[in-house]
Each structure stands twice: as structure tokens, then as C-alpha cells.
Amino acid sequence: VIETSTAAEAAALLATASRIVLLSHVNPDADAIGSALGLSRGLQAMGKSVVTLLTDPVPEYARFLRGADAIGSTLPADPPDVYVFADAAGFDRVGSLYTDDPSRFEGVPIVNVDHHRTNPMFGTVNFVAGDASSTSELSYHLLRELGAPIDADTATALLFGIVGDTGSFRNAATTPGALATAAHLLELGADTQSIAFYLFECKTFAAARLWGRIVGGIELDRERYIVFACMSQEMLRAEGATADETEGVAEYLRGVAEAEVVMLLKETEDGEIRISMRSRPEVDVSVIATALGGGGHRQAAGCTIAGPFEHAKKTLIEAYDSFHPQ
Ligand code: AMP
Ligand code: MN
Ligand code: MN
């Protein structure tokens, strides 16, 4: 039986490594980038060689973070001493960096740092805590365990991840641990003003117009208390916006008083539909996402299903009804 490990076990494995490759998930969110950059900066400050990689580009709102421009997208030729997977609820969540050639990960120890309850514990060491606010909070504890230096830029990266996953300390991930860690990171010089601006306020003119289109097209299922919203490739083209600029729309729609669940359907370039689900505390959307091959948290989950929109919507309603018999 593979069990959850402690920060001390994860630290022990990392302490002996000198060459580390650090990976996080596709469509990286604030916690993916914050934990990856926070860990890599802390480990580098210990004198280790760390390569940080993402399959997808760093979204615009995270580019102000120190080290974001050094994140790569190709594995080094030689295998490292240790791989670190951060905020990845499974091997496949890392995307093509993993799926293109899984054999490159064989025979190398893996430190799995994550807070998804659906994590299958794929690591050699699994520092996984389903009740933690974020992987960035766990990364802070891991760096403290290692005695790694945490400078102001590292603190900013870690706080960026915590603020992202707690929705700025508003959603259910706002635990005492999230607030206590945030307090320590503030003492270490984290730049809260930049985090608030880039994560929640700054948007391009094109993105503001894209939001208008998405919000303008919402539909309400009054029997199931679901708000459906769609983002097509045509909308992206028409406004000159990018898919990652929809970040925040689903949270905004969670405020629709007549609904308990938000389902944001985003058409990908190859015609599949990426679903972002958000819910009020009474409703668990992770079970719906998991049933459709995805995963996530009780109030924020996702999956990818076949298009077109009408078909995807039908699939979502069927899955929803199987968990909420009328
Ligand atoms: P998103 O709507 O993309 O912001 O995702 C919401 C949450 O669900 C995040 O914590 C994601 O990590 C998680 N999630 C999204 N898609 C998947 C998936 N295919 N498998 C597992 N977790 C997912
Ligand atoms: Mn994440
Ligand atoms: Mn996370």
C-alpha cells in the first residue's frame, strides 16, 4: 500500500539530490506556478541545480513572478537525481512532457507534492495533503523542513499560489494553515500588492470584451440550479484574446444567486470542450468531474469531454443527474 509521506520524508529525498527537474500541471494556474517557482527558487538557494518545466506557457498574469521567464518546456537530455511533481493530481496532468515518453521517468525517484484528494500517490514519496489550501502552502512547509532560504521573491511566488487557490481567502480552501502560512510569507517580504493586481485585476482590453461575450451568453437551468457559459474559438478570434484569459469568469458566475453550480464550457483548438466547474459549498462538483474522466476539488473541478457544445452540455447534465436524482 502506498501511503502519504511527511514533509520530512520528502525533504530527506530532496536533500540528497543535486540535480532536480520540477514539473507542474497543464493549463497551469496560480498554484501550479507559485508552487513550482517557490520550490525551484528555494532549492536553487540551497545550491541545487533545478530545471522547472511546464507543458503549457506561463499565463500573462503570472509573468511578473521572478523566474517565470526561465520556465522551460523540454526535458534535459540526462535524467535528474529526482523529479518533483507539484500540484499534479496524476502523472498525466503534466501533459506531453510526461505522456510523450513516460519511460524517461522510470528508475528516477519522484517527489509528489500535492493537495488534490484524487491524487493516486504515484510518487516515490507522496507529500500529499487533501486538506491543505494549496500545493504552495505545502511547498512552504517543505522548504522550511529543508532549511532552504526563502527570499522575498520566493515568498511572493508561494503566496501567489495560496491567494490563487483560496480565491483571495474567500473560498473553502481558506484554512488556518493558509492564513498562518500567508502571514509568514508576508513577514518574509511577499509582495501582496502585485499579487492582487496581476491575479485579479489586470486584464487586457480584449479579455474584458471576451468576458462580456461569455457572460452575455449565460443560460440558467432553473431545475438543476446550474449556470452554463460557453467560450468558443470564434469568440477568441473575434476579440483577439487567449483561452487563459477566461481565468476568473467561472468564479465570477458562482455569484449568480439563482444557481449553485457553474459549468463553463471552453472549446479547445481541436474541438474538444474543457469544462471548469465551480459550486457553492452544498454541492460537490469533483464527483461529476471525476465521473467524466477529470478531477479536482469539491468546489472547483474540471474535465475535458467531446464537443460540440450541445453534446457536452448533454453529457454534463446526465452526469449531474446521476449524482443528484430528481
Ligand atoms: P480549472 O477549472 O481548470 O481551474 O480546474 C479546477 C480544478 O480542477 C483545479 O484544481 C484543477 O487542478 C482540477 N482539474 C481540472 N481538470 C482536471 C482533470 N482533467 N483532472 C484532474 N483535475 C483536474
Ligand atoms: Mn492547480
Ligand atoms: Mn492547487
| Ligand 1: centre distance to CA 116 (Å) | 9
Verify whether ligand 1 is closer than 6 Å to residue 300 (CB atom).
yes
| Mean of the per-residue pLDDT values of the chain | 96
Task: Give residue 5's pLDDT.
Answer: 84
Verify whether ligand 1 is closer than 6 Å to residue 295 (CB atom).
yes
pLDDT digits over 132-178, tens only? Answer: 999 999 999 999 999 999 999 999 999 999 999 999 999 889 999 99
Q: What is the pTM of this model?
A: 0.82
Q: Closest Cα to atom 15, ligand 1: which residue?
A: 302
pLDDT digits over 184-207, tens only? Answer: 999 999 999 999 999 989 999 999
Task: Give residue 324's pLDDT.
Answer: 85
Verify whether ligand 1 is closer than 6 Å to residue 137 (CB atom).
no
3-class SS letters over the chain: CCCCCCHHHHHHHHHCCCEEEEECCCCCCHHHHHHHHHHHHHHHHCCCEEEEECCCCCCHHHCCCCCHHHCECCCCCCCCCEEEEECCCCHHHHCHHHHCCHHHHCCCCEEEEECCCCCCCCCCEEEECCCCCCHHHHHHHHHHHHCCCCCHHHHHHHHHHHHHHCCCCCCCCCCHHHHHHHHHHHHCCCCHHHHHHHHHHCCCHHHHHHHHHHHHCCEEECCCCEEEEEECHHHHHHHCCCHHHHCCHHHHHCCCCCCCEEEEEEECCCCCEEEEEEECCCCCCHHHHHHCCCEECCCEEEEEECCCHHHHHHHHHHHHHHHCCC
| Ligand 3: centre distance to CA 32 (Å) | 6
Closest ligand 1 atom to 304 CA: 19
Low-confidence ranges of the chain (pLDDT < 70): 1-3, 326
